[in-house]
Amino acid sequence: MDSKDTQKSSTQSSDIPSTFYIKILPDGPYVVYGKPPLDQEIIRPNEDGNSWIYQKGKHFEPEGEQYHLCRCGASKKKPFCDGAHIHADWNPKETAPFVNILDDSKWYEGDDISLSDNEKYCAYSRFCDAYGRIWNIVGNADSEKAKEIFFHEAGHCPAGRLIGWDKKTEQPVEPKFDPSIGLIEDPQIKVSGPIWVKGGIRIESGDGKTYEIRNRVTLCRCGQSSNKPFCDGTHASFHWSDDLPLPDSTDDGEKW
C-alpha cells in the first residue's frame, strides 16, 4: 500500500461540533474552546512492564467558557497557563507542516492488515513494544489474537503516529473517542508526556490555519519539541515533569 496511490485519510470521520477547537497563541498558550473534558491519562504497564493501558487520573474543572493550557513547560499552575511563557527559555515557533500525516508515512504490509507510521509524530509512549514490536507483528499476524494485539498497540499510540488498517475494508481501525483532552503521565520512565487531543478536535495555528483534523493528536507541553505544535518525544530525553500528583497505580485502567 502506497500513500501516494490512495485517497485514505486518517481524519476523524464523524461530525464534531465546531464549538470544540484549540487556538494556538503565537507566543503563548493553547486556548481550548468548547470545554472538552480535561483529565490526566496515566500510562500503566502489562505484566512485562511495557505500556498497555491508560488509567484516568485527576479530572480538572476549568472555570469559564474556555481554558488556557501551558505550552512553554514553565507554568507554576500546570496544566494551565500562568503567563510564564513571557520570560521562559523556549521557542514558541510552530514548525510542523500543514499536511496529512499519511503523506510522509512508511507502510508495513501483512496479509490482512497494514501499518502506516510517521515517525515525526512519535510521542514516546511505547505501546508499540508491548507484546512484540508492532513492526514485526504486522507481517506475522496469523491469528485473531495477534491481530487483536496489533490493533491494540496501534490504537493506543496517542499521537496517531501509528495507524492500523484493515486491508479488506481499506479503512483504519480507530478507537472511538468523544472530544476530550488528556494530560499524559508516564510513571514508568518518570516523565510527563504531551497533551492528548482526542475525538477530532480542530487545532488552529497562530496564523489562523487549521492542521489536519485527526482522531488522535499529541501537542507539546514541555516547550522543547522540534515539531511544534506537536510532540516529538523530547520530554522523555530531558525528563520533563509537570509535578502533578498521580493516583494509586492499583486503580483500574481505562480499557476500550
Tell me the pLDDT tens digit for each residue of 27-65. 999 999 999 999 999 999 999 999 999 999 999 999 888
pLDDT in tens, 176-231: 999 999 999 999 999 999 999 999 999 999 999 999 999 999 999 999 999 999 99
Is residue 140's pLDDT more than 50? Answer: yes
**Count of CB atoms situated within 10 Å of the CB of 247:** 13
Supply the pLDDT for residue 14: 56
Is residue 5's pLDDT more than 50? Answer: no
Supply the pLDDT for residue 1: 45
pLDDT in tens, 141-161: 999 999 999 999 999 999 999
Give the integer Cα–Cα distance in Å for 86 and 38.
Answer: 25
Three-class DSSP category at 174: coil
Residue length, the chain? Answer: 256
Give long-range contacts, CB 8 A cutoff, 24+ apart: 186-191.
186/42, 186/43, 186/125, 186/236, 187/42, 187/43, 187/246, 187/249, 188/43, 188/45, 188/49, 188/51, 188/126, 189/236, 190/239, 190/241, 191/235, 191/236, 191/239, 191/240, 191/241
Give the integer Cα–Cα distance in Å for 241 and 65.
Answer: 28
Give the integer Cα–Cα distance in Å for 176 and 215.
Answer: 8
Give the integer Cα–Cα distance in Å for 164 and 1.
Answer: 12
pLDDT in tens, 97-121: 999 999 999 999 999 999 999 999 9
Supply the pLDDT for residue 75: 98
Average pLDDT, stretch 74-103? 97
Query: Which DSSP symbol is given to 16?
Result: P
Domain segments of the chain as ranges: 21-97+179-237, 102-172
In angstroms, what CA-CA distances link 194 with 112, 149, 159, 186, 230?
32, 24, 9, 10, 8
E strands present in the chain: 21-24, 30-33, 38-45, 51-60, 66-69, 106-109, 113-117, 162-166, 171-172, 180-186, 191-198, 202-204, 216-219
- The single residue listed with the C-alpha cell 514541555 is 222
Residue 47 corresponds to which cell in the numbers above? 505484566
pTM of the predicted model as reported, rounded to 2 decimal places: 0.93
